[in-house]
Amino acid sequence: MNKAILGLALSVALLAGQAEAQTWRDKYKELNFGIIPVETQTETMKSFDGFTAYAAKKLGVPVKIFTATEFIGINNALVAGQIQLGWTSPSAYAGTWLECKACVEPIVTATDKDGNLGYNSVLIVKTDSPYKSYEDLKGKIVARTEPNSQSGYLVPTVDFSRMGKPVETYFNSPISGGHTQSVLGVLNGTYDAAFTWTTKGDGYGQIRTMIDKNMLKREQIRVIWESSLVPPPPVIVRADLPKDLKADLTKLFVELHKEDMQAAEAVAHGKTQGFVPVDHKVYEPTVEMRKILRDTRNNSYAFGAARHRRAASVFL
């Protein structure tokens, strides 16, 4: 009897020891990091070579880059379990968080070149254009990027609506498909102006990235409107990832700039003093803006449907 009990105790202890020895690497043999390319996919992969090599060395498993043309593609891949982490916009994060009932969460974000958090949505025009303020652009072609962009869509849509100048009616506002397309559209005359994003002194953001890639000279554009400071783009993960994996990923990004600043700048899309941990609270204002946008759309749809029913009743 005592031998049986002793044997059972040893078996339990052995199983417990094996469970403790298991780590997230037993489940995840490689990690996939989703990003939005600024250049071609090939050039983007090359830009991230330093980061993936560094991350693989620190984490002990291969790290691969996954690209999508829009932020929602990154988030959808994350929700589906195709990738484990992604760099995305605050608006895309907030939208996915609302839709999937908190199945994703932020872990880190980048500071700017002065160590500050946050960036601005900006409205840009060509330097030699006659437009000095957004009022000069009434009725003109002013591009937004895509519906899951915070700076290129959410912030200007909500801010201008609050000013009583809805973007959809105050301007002619097509969707460009991305920040690079918006800026290039301004440069080549397709758009009179466009919304994009930058930090103080163009430390990081779309303007800095395009300057660094020789796609833009700063003197080619002027900023004629900027938003108040908004939360910076987060690196997000699935909320159900193992705690030790989240901890290792957070440590990876927080220490990245100390050992490989070039890799840190590639992930931050420009100059940075490094990454810092963040949680959902930082993005609650963005969640509220997404709710406002959602409610506005629902109300507009309801109004349009009611108007359609009234018009149809004339013929009944």
Q: Does 15 reside within a domain?
A: no
Q: Are residues 127 and 192 in the same domain?
A: yes
Q: What is the pLDDT of residue 141?
A: 98
Query: What are the tokens at 97?
Result: 């968080």
Instruction: Check residue 296 and give its pLDDT.
Output: 76
> What integer pLDDT is reported at residue 304 of this predicted model?
43
User: Scanning the structure block, which residue is given the tokens 């900006």?
Assistant: 122
pLDDT of amino acid 4: 53
pLDDT of amino acid 21: 54
Any domain includes 263: yes
Collapsing DSSP states into helix, strand and coil, what is residue 115?
A: coil
Among residues 226, 253, 270, the one where a domain terminates is: 226
**Same domain? 107 vs 138:** no
Same domain, 151 and 179: yes
Structural domain includes residue 236: yes
How many domains, the chain?
2
Q: Which domain holds residue 264?
A: 26-113+232-287
Whether 181 and 276 share a structural domain: no
33: closest CA among 2, 73, 64? 64
Same domain, 31 and 89: yes
Specify the CATH number for the domain of residue 148: 3.40.190.10
Reported for 62-65, long-range contacts at CB under 8 A and 24+ positions apart, including other chains, are 62/29, 62/30, 62/31, 63/30, 63/31, 63/32, 63/33, 64/30, 64/31, 64/32, 64/33, 65/32, 65/33, 65/34, 65/35
Contact between 106 and 240 under an 8 Å Cβ cutoff? The reply is: no
Instruction: Fill in the DSSP letter of residue 145.
Output: -
Are 51 and 66 in the same domain?
yes
| 293 assigned to some structural domain | no
Do 105 and 163 lie in one domain? The reply is no
Q: Residues 6 or more apart from 139 whose CB is under 8 A from it?
A: 170, 171, 172
109 and 236 inside one domain: yes
What was the pLDDT predicted at 101?
94
User: CA-to-CA distance for 42 and 208, rounded, in angstroms?
Assistant: 20
Could you give the CA distance from residue 125 to residue 218 in angstroms, rounded to a whole number?
Answer: 12
Give pLDDT, residue 41.
65
Do residues 276 and 149 both lie within one domain?
Answer: no
Q: Residue 209, by phi and psi: left (phi above 0), alpha (psi -120 to 50) or beta?
A: alpha
Distances (CA, A) of 11 to 3, 4, 17, 19, 99: 12, 11, 10, 12, 44
Mean pLDDT in order along the chain per 10 residues (316 residues): 50 45 90 86 81 97 94 95 96 96 97 94 98 98 95 96 95 96 98 96 93 95 96 96 98 97 93 96 96 77 40 33
Residue 307 burial (CB count, 10 A): 10
Residues 105 and 245 in one domain: yes
Q: Which among 226, 253, 276 is the end of a domain?
A: 226
Q: Could you give the 3-state DSSP secondary structure of residue 244? A: helix
Report if residue 280 sits inside a domain.
yes
Provide the residue count of the chain. Answer: 316
Of 198, 226, 254, the domain-final residue: 226
Q: Are 150 and 279 contained in the same domain?
A: no
- What strands lie across the sheet with 120-126, from one edge to the other? 142-143, 193-198, 120-126, 221-226
Hey, is 31 helix, strand or coil?
Answer: strand
Whether residue 292 is contained in a domain is answered as no
Instruction: Say yes or no: 101 and 124 in one domain.
Output: no
Instruction: Determine, yes or no, domain membership for 13.
Output: no
Contact 75, 104 (CB under 8 A): yes
Would you say residue 127 lies in a domain?
yes
